[in-house]
């Protein structure tokens, strides 16, 4: 069973029990600060969850120790950055809300659960698939109606 930690909630001043995220390698995950992975100011004091077995890590929601997602290796973190670069312009354009964009993505991926397709929750295989789908959708949209697209995604093409 994962260790439980107390965490202050942003704004409410109440305490909530935060469970350590599970690392895909099965190793022990502990709460540390950014210095543990070489972060410099101002990030060195921010809390992160670090797997002691493989070094995977994940940051925390602002003002708490609740993990932003699952611990990720360097490669998985790079894939998450690429996925966000492709996906975020969809909702950042203001044409749809973030929730509606994730609902569309869930439909595109054949999922019923919107929470199940959040980038921070996907493993490497599903993240690569999502990236391929998003590249295909951007290419199709560019051919169909280039003027209607939000600003070009920040990710690199494949």
Q: What is the mean pLDDT of the chain?
A: 82
How far lies 22's CA from each of 41, 51, 53, 77, 145, in Å?
Answer: 27, 9, 12, 16, 43
pLDDT 10s digits, 30-46 = 999 888 888 888 878 88
Confidence of residue 139 (pLDDT cuts 50, 70, 90): confident
Q: What is the pLDDT of residue 15?
A: 56
Confidence of residue 56 (pLDDT cuts 50, 70, 90): very high
């Amino acid at each position: 069973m994962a260790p439980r930690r107390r965490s202050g909630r942003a704004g409410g001043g109440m305490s909530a029990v935060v469970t350590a995220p599970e690392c895909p390698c099965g190793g022990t995950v502990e709460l540390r600060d950014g210095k543990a992975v070489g972060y410099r100011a101002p990030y060195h004091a921010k809390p992160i969850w670090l797997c002691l077995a493989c070094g995977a890590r994940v940051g925390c929601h602002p003002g708490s120790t609740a993990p932003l997602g699952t611990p990720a290796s360097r490669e998985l973190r790079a894939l998450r950055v690429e996925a966000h670069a492709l996906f975020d312009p969809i909702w950042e354009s203001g044409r749809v809300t973030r929730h509606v964009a994730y609902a569309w993505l869930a439909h595109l991926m054949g999922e019923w659960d919107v929470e199940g397709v959040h980038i921070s929750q996907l493993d490497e295989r599903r993240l690569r698939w999502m990236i391929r789908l998003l590249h295909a959708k951007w290419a199709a949209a560019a051919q169909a109606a280039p003027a209607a697209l939000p600003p070009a995604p920040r990710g690199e093409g494949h």
